[in-house]
Amino acid sequence: MKTDSLFYKLFQQAPQLVLELAGIDQAGAENYQFRSEEIKQTAFRLDGVLTPPLEKPDLPLVFVEVQFQVDHGFYSRFFCEIFFYLHQNRPIHPWHAVVIYPSRKVETSGERHYSVLLESAQVQRIYLDELARKPSQQVRVRLVQLITEDIKQAPKIAQALIKAIENNELAVDNKAQILEIIETILVYKFPKLSREEIQKMLGYNDISLKETRFYQDVYAEGQQEGRQEGRQEGEAKLILRLLVRLFGELGADTQNRITRLNVGQLEALGEALLDFSSKEDVERWLEK
């Protein structure tokens, strides 16, 4: 698993993950944008910049680096990139830097030239192996801990996290986003498994499935089609699309039988499919 690329993908999905890790006030976090930045006329490139909205000048501009390799020139390059960026862009916001290491063993010393910066409140270093040993009630911190889990333990830990979310044991501001991130982490850890196999591994139930983005996107499309084409036809297309996403292409006979169902039957099928684990379950339901 290429861990640094996974982190940057997660930061794009949920910028507030960086803020939560760094302990930065998350007021207005939903308006942050995460991207990489090329420093003009230099060979430097910032891999991660978290930019707050212009209308909130008190929120910090956050520079993020995931450093999983020993690099003796890292701090020299990183601080040069930050100050070149500040010089060229003249942002109105204060700045904060976050460096994520797998452990202290990977970090190289910057004390000779950068001790003032490294000891300041503006620069924060996070060591994932130490983070993993600390119990947390913060959902996004638990997600980072999931990334560092041994591959054999990861499914069990992910299932427990989902269960805690569904039982409201952990406060979640965006359940759909958190479920998608858990799924993404497992996809990276088990690259040979399909998304459907990952979902089965996680033990998705009706609550989990309905909260995922793919369900919401498909449902929204079906609702739009339903308004345009009539409720029965729209419901049938929605059900078929969900079934294809879950189990792959359906046989022509199965598709025809579903399109002939009335609205009440389609709604019943929509509820029942959340308990299905294969195409055979669909066919058994239709037989009944």
How does pLDDT run across 178-220, given as a tens digit for each residue? Answer: 887 888 888 888 877 776 778 788 876 544 555 555 445 544 5
Residues 6+ apart with CB under 8 A from 91: 51, 61
Distance CA 50, CA 16 (A): 9
Q: 144 burial class (0-12, 13-18, 19+ CB within 10 angstroms)? A: buried
201 is written with which tokens? 């591994």
Domains of the chain (ranges; CATH) run 1-128 (3.40.1350), 135-203 (no CATH), 213-287 (no CATH)
Distance CA 223, CA 271 (A): 16
Per DSSP, the three-state class of 34 is strand
pTM (global) more than 0.85: no
End-to-end CA distance of the chain: 45
How does pLDDT run across 228-283, given as a tens digit for each residue? Answer: 445 677 778 778 877 876 777 788 888 888 888 888 888 788 777 766 777 888 88
